[in-house]
């Protein structure tokens, strides 16, 4: 086994990332995880992670299978994964799900591949590759998929200025006027929690959000808060992709939600905001301008994250 | 019996004995409990009534405790600069420890619900995901939420949201409790602290969601009233 320890480049002001003791970052493991991410050997239908997670779209895509594709951005700080939080824990845990259940990876194919056998021996010191080894290597690459170099980040570090519209949008975002920050706050632009923002008045059996995982009636209609980083390059929004532009999303939060939706988040039905946020067309345009400052073009074209 | 249990701040000696106190240090674990006038807190249940007359439920309760001081019978004070994050819905955050309290007989507990000015600065606390989620936006003054207390209340036959968020320098809630307890050398003990959520709405002035505001974050009058009412949270 060859271990070349590496340190992740954590952007300024980001929280500490917790990395499990038994999967500390090494160059060999990270490189292996990157190769696996792009390799259809993981699946039995010719697909790889990268089939649905396109770098130029912030590692998401327009592929849908009931749910939109959540972006692979800053997941090293997450502890709930997928729209309903179907998997919780570390990246290693969700990667075990991906290998064993989502892809149903045929581990024999990897063990029959001399290149992979050599790479796993080098990275993890194993002669026989296990699904856990694959999951752990993938977790290494996911942990490196860090987006924190957007115009907003540069502004926060004093290296860039926002224009007037972006500044106005930021003021709306971080004030009670827009009240975006309570769920999409911090440098991750997600609270990694679940909320019902009133997308629907009712939720059909089998499609009731977090409830499908917990079976707690208080979780009916709750879905994970997605990060807003790189949201400007997405083409689908919400868990079911019902919106295709940021402006549509803002219109929904302005006055389009269902107030009587079960378990709606209290912040959505404050009496003083009974008539919605009352954002003007200019306010909405300013918010879109601010959200676009979260686009990290370096991340979208980072060659250390691209197909090896 | 449960009410008695909840209303009291109990000092439980877990591993200690009744042996004579000796010089040295002991450990104290503080365990937080949350209730509404004696009814244990259950999230998402419209089970509670406040003094303004509204039935209400609780969906979120997160806060900081800081600046702990324990004063013994001789007037000596043990002080801690630690800050503790509590999420009432996550048991693992509802207890914390002091490992180096001088043994002795104590009579008084003081602490803040929230942060003092020295700690309430943007990015000052450890960069954890929890602290990041408690951040108070710079353009609203920076620092952190001292408390997020959210839920639904029923008024005019409809459920409405409330979001009582307290932050801003000077509005942390000072708590003073007269309660005798003892720390034994090399022993571990547990102190139970019970927060009564209805005290946020009660005294010296009744807090009325429709009169005072269902959300408080950019409402200084509402935050000041909540801060004043907080003094009896642990009585």
Res B13 pLDDT > 60: no
- Contact between B152 and A174 using a beta-carbon 8 Å cutoff: no
Closest CB to B127: pick one of A14, A170, A218.
A14
Burial class from Cβ neighbours inside 10 Å (0-12, 13-18, 19+) for residue A260 reads: exposed
Best of B129, B141, B151, B213 to disrupt the A interface (most A CBs within 10 Å) is B129
Query: What DSSP character marks residue B234?
Result: T
Taking CB atoms and an 8 Å cut-off, how many pairs form between chains A and B? 80
Closest CB to B161: pick one of A77, A175, A267.
A267
Q: Cα distance from B69 to chain A (closest Cα, Å)?
A: 29
Return the closest-CA partner of residue A221 out of A274, A258, A184, A255: A258
- The ranges assigned to domains in chain B are 15-232
Measured distance CA(B63)–CA(B134) in Å, rounded:
8
Percent of chain B with pLDDT over 70: 91
Return the closest-CA partner of residue A61 out of A299, A241, A69: A69
Measured distance CA(B65)–CA(B109) in Å, rounded:
13
* CATH code of the domain occupying A21-146: 1.10.760.10
Q: Which residue of A has its CA nearest to B154?
A: A271
The model's pTM: 0.92
Let me know if domain A151-297 sits in CATH 3.10.105.10. Answer: no
Average pLDDT of the residues in A160-175:
97
pLDDT at B8: 43
pLDDT at A216: 96
- Contact between A266 and B133 using a beta-carbon 8 Å cutoff: no
Instruction: Evaluate whether A302 touches A193 at the Cβ level (below 8 Å).
Output: no
Query: A125: pLDDT confidence band, cut at 50, 70 and 90?
Result: very high
Measured distance CA(B116)–CA(B229) in Å, rounded:
18
Torsion sign over Cα A47, A48, A52, A57 = negative
For helices A131-144 and A27-37, angle between their N-to-C axes, nearest 10 degrees: 100
Q: Cα distance from B122 to chain A (closest Cα, Å)?
A: 10
Cβ–Cβ contact B210 with A under 8 A? yes
Question: Which position has the token pair 């996550």?
Answer: B90
Average pLDDT of the residues in B36-45:
96
pLDDT at A2: 83
- Contact between B139 and A14 using a beta-carbon 8 Å cutoff: no
Does the interface ipTM go beyond 0.85? yes
Return the closest-CA partner of residue A82 out of A199, A194, A185: A194
Helix (H, G, I), strand (E, B) or coil at B103: coil
Q: Cα distance from A117 to chain B (closest Cα, Å)?
A: 37
Tens digit of pLDDT for each residue in A23-38? Answer: 999 999 999 999 999 9
DSSP string, A251-294: HIIIIIS-TT-TT--GGGS-GGGTT-----HHHHHHHHHHHHTT
């Amino acid at each position: 086994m060859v271990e070349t320890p590496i340190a992740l480049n954590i952007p300024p002001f980001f929280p500490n990332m917790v990395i499990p003791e038994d999967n500390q970052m090494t160059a060999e493991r990270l490189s292996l995880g990157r190769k696996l991410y792009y390799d259809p050997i993981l699946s039995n239908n010719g697909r790889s992670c990268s089939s649905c997670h396109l770098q130029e779209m912030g590692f998401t895509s327009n592929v849908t299978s009931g749910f939109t594709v959540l972006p692979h951005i800053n997941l090293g700080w997450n502890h709930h994964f997928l729209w309903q939080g179907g998997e919780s824990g570390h990246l290693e845990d969700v990667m075990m799900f991906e290998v064993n259940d989502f892809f149903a990876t045929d581990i024999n194919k990897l063990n029959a591949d001399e290149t992979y056998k050599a790479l796993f021996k080098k990275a993890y010191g194993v002669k026989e590759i296990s699904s856990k080894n694959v999951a752990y290597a993938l977790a290494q690459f996911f942990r490196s998929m860090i987006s924190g170099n957007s115009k907003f980040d540069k502004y926060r570090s004093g290296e860039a200025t926002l224009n007037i519209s972006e500044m106005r949008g930021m003021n709306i975002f971080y004030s009670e006027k827009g009240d975006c920050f309570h769920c999409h706050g911090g440098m991750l632009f997600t609270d990694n929690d679940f909320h019902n923002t009133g997308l629907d008045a009712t939720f059909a059996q089998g499609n009731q959000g977090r409830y499908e995982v917990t079976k707690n009636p208080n979780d009916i209609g709750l879905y994970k808060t997605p990060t807003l980083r790189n949201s400007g390059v997405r083409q689908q929004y919400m868990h079911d992709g019902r919106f295709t532009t940021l402006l549509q999303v803002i219109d929904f939060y302005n006055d389009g939600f269902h107030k009587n939706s079960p378990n709606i988040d209290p912040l959505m039905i404050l009496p003083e905001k009974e008539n919605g946020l009352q954002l003007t067309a200019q306010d909405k345009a300013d918010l879109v301008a601010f959200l676009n400052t979260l686009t990290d073009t370096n991340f979208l074209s980072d060659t250390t994250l691209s197909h090896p | 019996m449960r009410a008695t249990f909840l209303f009291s701040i109990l000092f439980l000696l877990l591993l200690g004995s009744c042996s004579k106190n000796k010089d040295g240090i002991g450990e104290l674990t503080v365990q937080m409990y949350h209730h509404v006038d004696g009814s244990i807190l259950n999230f998402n249940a419209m089970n509670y009534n406040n003094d303004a007359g509204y039935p209400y439920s609780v969906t979120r309760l997160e806060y900081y405790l800081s600046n702990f001081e324990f004063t013994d019978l001789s007037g000596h004070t043990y002080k801690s600069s630690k800050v503790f994050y509590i999420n009432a819905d996550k048991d693992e955050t509802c207890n914390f420890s002091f490992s180096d309290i001088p043994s002795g007989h104590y009579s008084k507990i003081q602490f803040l619900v929230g942060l003092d000015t020295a700690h309430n600065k943007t990015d000052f606390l450890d960069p954890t995901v929890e602290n990041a989620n408690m951040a108070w936006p710079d353009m609203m003054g920076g620092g952190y939420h001292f408390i997020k207390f959210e839920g639904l209340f029923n008024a005019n036959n409809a459920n409405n949201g409330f979001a009582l968020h307290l932050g801003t320098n000077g509005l942390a809630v000072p708590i003073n409790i007269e309660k005798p307890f003892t720390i034994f050398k090399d022993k571990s003990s547990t102190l139970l602290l019970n927060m009564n959520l209805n005290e946020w709405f009660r005294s010296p002035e009744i807090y009325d969601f429709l009169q005072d505001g269902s959300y408080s974050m950019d409402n200084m009058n509402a935050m000041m009233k909540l801060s004043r009412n907080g003094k009896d949270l642990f009585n």
